[in-house]
Amino acid sequence: MPLFANASLPLDELEARLRLHRLPDTGPKRFHQLLETFGSAAEALRGPLSVWRKLNLSSAACEARDSADIKAGAGAAMAWLEHPGQHLLMWDDPGYPALLAETSAAPPLLFVAGDPAILEKPQLAIVGSRRASRPGLDTAAAFSRSLAKAGFVITSGLAAGVDGAAHQAALDVGGQTIGVLGTGIQKLYPQRHKALAAQMAASGSAVVSEFPLDAGPVAANFPRRNRIISGLSLGVLVVEASLASGSLITARLANEQGREVYAIPGSIHHPGAKGCHQLIRDGAQLVETVEHILEPLRGWQRVSAPCPEPDHPLLALLHAAPQSSEALVRSSAWPLPKVLQALTELELEGRVVNEAGRWFARIS
C-alpha cells in the first residue's frame, strides 16, 4: 500500500496537496500559508484568487492552479504511489522525520523510493567535492563504512564524488543510506548514479526528494536540498571541499540547525582541503579518526547495529609485534593495496596508530 500523510486523508485532499506542491513560486512558506488560510488544500484550490493575491502568491501560481498540466502531474504522482516501495511523507504524518520537522522551511512533502522508516533513524551526513581526489574518495568510503557498521544511517546527496563513495561504502558493509536529491525522483541526476539509487531503494535504504517527481536539474535546487541533508542528520562530516563547494553550504545550514559539523584536514597545498580548513577555523570539529565522531554520540546508534566482526587479521599480527606496511604484506599474504586500505580503516576506527613508519595496535 502507498504511504502518505494520515491514512484517513481523503483522496481529493491528497490530490489537492499534490497540485499545490506543483505550483510555480510556491515553496514551503506559501504552501502552509494557503492551508492555514483556507483550512485545507482542496478549499485553497476552490478559494477566490483575490485571497491568493493578498497572500502574495505570484501571478504564475494563480494562473497555473487550474491548469491541465498541474492536474496531470498530480494524477501521475498518485499513480506513482500505487507501486510498492514508493511513498509520500507529509509534514503532518506521524512518520515524518522528527529532526527535519524541527527545522525552518521543512519540506511539506517528501517523495520516498525505498524504506521511509529509516528517515527516523540516527543519521550522519557525509558530503564533499564532486571532483574529489582518490585519497578523498577513499577517506569518505572508509568513514562511511565505519559509521555504518557503528549503527548510523549515512545520508548524502547522491552527487558524483564524495557523495557516491559514501553511499556505496555504506551499502558494501550492509548498512543503510539515504540519498537526498536536487531533482525529482524520476529525473535523477547525475544519471551515472541511476543504478546506485536503484540499489539503495531495493535494499532497505532510501532515495528522497522534496521536488515533484518529474522536476529536472535546476542549479538553484541543489543548494536548496542541502538543508534536508543536514536537517535529517545529527551531524555533517565534510571530507574534501574547495572554498566554493556546496558542501560548505550544507555545513553552514547544519550549524544554523544546531547540528555538529566535522571536517577532515588535508595538505595546505591541496585546493580541496581549503574548505575544510575554513570550517575548522570557523569552529568545526577537526576529525582524524572515526572515534572523534562516535565518542560524543554514544547512545545514538540504533539498537539493531550490525554485530561486531571477529578480530581483524591485521590486528592479530600487530598485537604480536609492531610492523611496517611492507612487513604486513609478507606476514598476511595480502596485496599491498588491500593492506593499506585495511590499515586506513583501522586507523580511522582508532584501533591502530602509525609511528615512525611502523604500525602499532592500540590497546582498548
Q: Which domains does the chain have, with CATH numbers?
A: 1-83 (no CATH), 117-297 (3.40.50.450), 313-361 (1.10.10.10)
The model's pLDDT over 116-144, given as tens digits with 9 standing for 90+, comes to 999 999 999 999 999 999 999 999 999 99
Position 38 pLDDT exceeds 50: yes
Please tell me the predicted confidence (pLDDT) of residue 363.
63
The predicted structure's pLDDT at residue 262: 97
Quick one: pLDDT band at residue 54, thresholds 50, 70, 90?
A: very high
The residue whose grid cell reads 505570484 is 58
pLDDT band at residue 320 using 50, 70 and 90 as cut-offs: low
d(Cα 82, Cα 86) in Å, to the nearest integer? 7
pLDDT bracket for residue 6 (50, 70, 90):
very low
Confidence of residue 219 (pLDDT cuts 50, 70, 90): very high
Query: Model confidence at 318, in pLDDT bands (50, 70, 90)?
Result: confident
Over residues 46-61, the mean pLDDT reads 95
Give the pLDDT of residue 307: 38
- pLDDT attached to residue 319: 75
Ranking 259-273, 319-333, 339-353 by mean pLDDT, the lowest is 319-333
Q: Please, are residues 271 and 240 in contact by the beta-carbon 8 Å criterion?
A: no
Residues pairing with 90 in the sheet: 109
pLDDT at 302: 52
Q: Residues of the chain with pLDDT > 90: what percent?
A: 76
Would you state the pLDDT for residue 94? 86
310 confidence band (pLDDT: 50, 70, 90): low
Q: With a cut of 80, say whether residue 362 has pLDDT above it.
A: no
Mean pLDDT, the chain, integer:
91
Q: What is the largest CA-CA distance in the chain?
A: 80
- The 10s digit of each residue's pLDDT in 164-207 is 999 999 999 999 999 999 999 999 999 999 999 999 999 999 99
- Which run of H or of E encompasses 113? strand 109-114
More confident residue, 24 or 323: 24
Q: What is the DSSP string of 33-99?
A: HHHHHHSSHHHHHHS-HHHHHHTT--HHHHHHTT-HHHHHHHHHHHHHTTSTTEEEEETTSTTS-HH
- pLDDT, residue 204, reads 95
> Can you tell me the distance from the alpha carbon of 79 to that of 83, in angstroms, rounded to the nearest whole number?
8
The contacts of residue 150 (CB under 8 Å, 6+ apart) are 290, 294, 301, 305
Choose from 5-9, 207-211, 336-340, 351-355 the range with maximum mean pLDDT.
207-211
